[in-house]
Amino acid sequence: MAEPADPQRRAELARDAMYRHDYATQSLGMVIADIGPGRSTVTMTVRRDMLNGFGMCHGGLVTSLADTAFAFACNSHGEMTVAAGFDAEFVKAAKLGDRLTAEALERSQAGRLGVYDVTVRNQDGETVAYLRGRSYRMRGKSLIGD
Amino acid sequence: MAEPADPQRRAELARDAMYRHDYATQSLGMVIADIGPGRSTVTMTVRRDMLNGFGMCHGGLVTSLADTAFAFACNSHGEMTVAAGFDAEFVKAAKLGDRLTAEALERSQAGRLGVYDVTVRNQDGETVAYLRGRSYRMRGKSLIGD
Amino acid sequence: MAEPADPQRRAELARDAMYRHDYATQSLGMVIADIGPGRSTVTMTVRRDMLNGFGMCHGGLVTSLADTAFAFACNSHGEMTVAAGFDAEFVKAAKLGDRLTAEALERSQAGRLGVYDVTVRNQDGETVAYLRGRSYRMRGKSLIGD
Amino acid sequence: MAEPADPQRRAELARDAMYRHDYATQSLGMVIADIGPGRSTVTMTVRRDMLNGFGMCHGGLVTSLADTAFAFACNSHGEMTVAAGFDAEFVKAAKLGDRLTAEALERSQAGRLGVYDVTVRNQDGETVAYLRGRSYRMRGKSLIGD
């Protein structure tokens, strides 16, 4: 199967190829709510087993949500791309039952490096966290087609 | 109960107070292997439900481990302290079954802000990730005593 | 002199108070092109004495431009605020003679901590760098009035 | 002239090749005090024209010092390497006349990406800032030999 030329279709195929075996994303109850070229939206509801000792959603799990949105966005072009790192800022605690939405947008691509911005908001539209992701595109590894 | 004067004893009491209800850390199978003033060591074994679509440990979960070590280190003085943010660098993928160890060390305290460095290594001593955490100490909230 | 109630006027007075003795900004030829509540725009032209050994503008000086925009934006409310740190991403080299513009925007304020995004562009509108600044507001130190 | 096999000699030749035309580093009075494979030490004295409006050394110039140490360390292997970005934390203000020393150390190399840690201290050994640099090695561009 050849890779489709349509960028939106490529993004959807990349999502399908990634999500199928993404047990972490699945076990955390994340849903890939939207996908497109250079962008994605992922949702997660804060469960009891996501709370830290202060009764707030563990920062690492808020980050996991943002990182997932980043990963789907930076792989949306169909070439295998990994996270080299990211910077996260926590601006508001997330609580039990909060429905969080992470939106990731591509900011730049230069050579094999990319920059992505992710904003995590709660059900009231309040910003919970910002993540700035740095991606590294692997050479010649397609996620789709063969 | 008054707060103990001994820094090591305070660190242990803070750990106990935090861990008791830290369902995230517990459900991810993390163990607080060591605690002391300004430092902690936390371990986690990579399970199948922690893998991403590329068959590697989800970066957000590697970060969750590092963030937990950061949280226990920055709360080890007995005053409630939260993560303002962090910077993470991923240098080697973690695989199914890898036993990861995160060591967190305090680098500085200035006013209510702190800087902590966390290194995540696998069972062969290879570095998997670096995290630099930025903490914010809450005013007058003790974790221990009453 | 009391502090003015108008946010725009406060921002202008804060700019004046800061710029007067900001020898670094002046010696690097930076111009505070715009100021307002939670935002600023600063320009700088790349001089020969700003080039590194590869003939590009030194990354630290691109950062200095972005940091200045960040500083004027986070002090625009009239209370003394310092940079706790920032994350910088370089996406395109700046060359001799390039006219760079840094735009800083406030993203969040929570307690004494703030998050600011700065984008540095060249004369062709191409993005040179992104900076995400983390600010810390000092207690009870006004920049304006008395 | 072929590249020398000795890593220390390569580092010294890379330093010479970079420093010769590094007008920014020179005009800021920086001195490359030490160089070796994966490491460098750079000094700078805070001048009046480096002060910001609060009478402290401009954070961007503290960063410039740290970035220079990072640049010399990550180019010390003799292959052209650029800064993809960095994270900076400011923990203590630097004042007029302070003699600052930035020490950069390589933490990891994976493919074309590297991680470097820089600590900036004043003449009393107090830490002024931490910088974590992310490098990107260009393909097949030697700084030395021909």
Residue C42 falls within a domain, yes or no? Answer: yes
Q: Give per-residue pLDDT as tens, B37-87.
A: 999 999 999 999 999 999 999 999 999 999 999 999 999 999 999 999 999
Please give, rounded to a whole number of angstroms, the shortest distance from the CA of A31 to a CA of chain B: 14
Residue B29 falls within a domain, yes or no? Answer: yes
Task: Tell me the pLDDT band of C144, cut-offs 50, 70 and 90.
Answer: confident
* Residue C123: CB atoms within 10 Å: 12
Who wins on pLDDT, D58 or A139? Answer: D58
Q: Give per-residue pLDDT as tens, A34-85.
A: 999 999 999 999 999 999 999 999 999 999 999 999 999 999 999 999 999 9
Residue B21 falls within a domain, yes or no? Answer: yes
Task: Tell me the pLDDT band of D1, cut-offs 50, 70 and 90.
Answer: low
Q: Which residue do the tokens 């369902």 mark?
A: B23
What mean pLDDT is reported for chain C?
Answer: 95
Closest residue to B24, CB basis, from A17, A20, A58 = A58
By C-alpha distance, the chain C residue nearest D54 is: C18
- Provide the β-strand partners of residue B134: B85, B115
What is the secondary structure of chain B as a DSSP string? -PPPS-HHHHHHHHHHHHHTT-HHHHHTT-EEEEEETTEEEEEEE--GGGB-TTSSB-HHHHHHHHHHHHHHHHTTTSEEEEEEEEEEEE-S---TT-EEEEEEEEEEEETTEEEEEEEEE-TTS-EEEEEEEEEEEEEEEESS--
Residue C116 falls within a domain, yes or no? Answer: yes
Q: Is C140 on the interface with B (CB under 8 A)?
A: no
What CA–CA distance (Å, rounded) separates B82 from A72?
29
Q: Is A83 on the interface with B (CB under 8 A)?
A: yes
What mean pLDDT is reported for chain D?
Answer: 95
Using CA of residue B62, residue B67, residue B68, residue B70, what is the dihedral sign? positive
- Whether D19 and C52 lie within 8 Å, measured CB to CB: no
pLDDT at D81: 96
pLDDT at A1: 54
Region D62-90 average pLDDT: 97
The structural domain count of chain D equals: 1
pLDDT at C3: 76
Q: Is C79 on the interface with D (CB under 8 A)?
A: no
Task: Tell me the pLDDT band of B2, cut-offs 50, 70 and 90.
Answer: low
pLDDT at D141: 87
The proportion of chain D whose per-residue pLDDT surpasses 70, expressed as a percent, equals 97
Angle at D70 between CA C114 and CA A60, to 5 degrees: 45
Predicted TM-score (pTM) of this structure: 0.96
Region D67-86 average pLDDT: 97
Region D61-72 average pLDDT: 98
Q: Is the per-residue pLDDT at D21 higher than 70?
A: yes
Which domain range does residue C23 map to?
7-142
Residue D48: helix, strand or coil by DSSP? helix
Task: Tell me the pLDDT band of D111, cut-offs 50, 70 and 90.
Answer: confident
Task: Tell me the pLDDT band of D96, cut-offs 50, 70 and 90.
Answer: very high
pLDDT at B41: 98
Q: Is D83 on the interface with B (CB under 8 A)?
A: no
Region C29-56 average pLDDT: 98
Residue C2 falls within a domain, yes or no? Answer: no
Maximal C-alpha separation, chain D: 51
pLDDT at C2: 67
Residue B30 falls within a domain, yes or no? Answer: yes
* Predicted ipTM of the assembly: 0.96
Residue D91 falls within a domain, yes or no? Answer: yes
The proportion of chain C whose per-residue pLDDT surpasses 90, expressed as a percent, equals 90
Give, as one character, the DSSP assignment of residue D111: T
- Whether A87 and C132 lie within 8 Å, measured CB to CB: yes
Q: Is the per-residue pLDDT at D108 higher than 80?
A: yes
What CA–CA distance (Å, rounded) separates B44 from B25?
9
Neighboring chain D residues of C18 at a CB cutoff of 8 Å: 52-54
Neighboring chain A residues of C127 at a CB cutoff of 8 Å: 107-108
Q: Is B87 on the interface with C (CB under 8 A)?
A: yes
- Whether C67 and D82 lie within 8 Å, measured CB to CB: no
pLDDT at C49: 98
Q: Is the per-residue pLDDT at C146 higher than 70?
A: no
Q: Is B139 on the interface with A (CB under 8 A)?
A: no
- Whether B127 and D134 lie within 8 Å, measured CB to CB: no
Region C43-66 average pLDDT: 98
Q: Give per-residue pLDDT as tens, B110-140.
A: 889 999 999 999 999 999 999 999 999 998 8
Q: Is B89 on the interface with D (CB under 8 A)?
A: yes
For residue B5, how far is the Cα from the chain centroid?
23
pLDDT at B1: 54
What CA–CA distance (Å, rounded) separates B135 from A40?
29
Neighboring chain B residues of A18 at a CB cutoff of 8 Å: 52-54
Q: Is C18 on the interface with D (CB under 8 A)?
A: yes
Q: Is A126 on the interface with C (CB under 8 A)?
A: no
E strands of chain D, at which residues?
A: 31-36, 39-45, 79-90, 99-110, 113-121, 127-142
Mutation for D interface: B56, B70, B115, B126, most D CBs within 10 A: B115
By C-alpha distance, the chain D residue nearest A138 is: D111
Q: Is the per-residue pLDDT at C62 higher than 60?
A: yes
pLDDT at A94: 98
- Whether C134 and B134 lie within 8 Å, measured CB to CB: yes
Residue A2 falls within a domain, yes or no? Answer: no
- What's the CATH code of the domain at D71? 3.10.129.10
Closest residue to D91, CB basis, from B87, B108, B127 = B108
Q: Which residue do the tokens 């893998």 mark?
A: B51
Give me C5's structure tokens.
């109630």
Q: Give per-residue pLDDT as tens, C94-142.
A: 999 999 999 999 999 988 999 999 999 999 999 999 999 999 999 888 9
Q: Is C59 on the interface with D (CB under 8 A)?
A: yes
What CA–CA distance (Å, rounded) separates D64 from C20?
23
Neighboring chain B residues of A16 at a CB cutoff of 8 Å: none
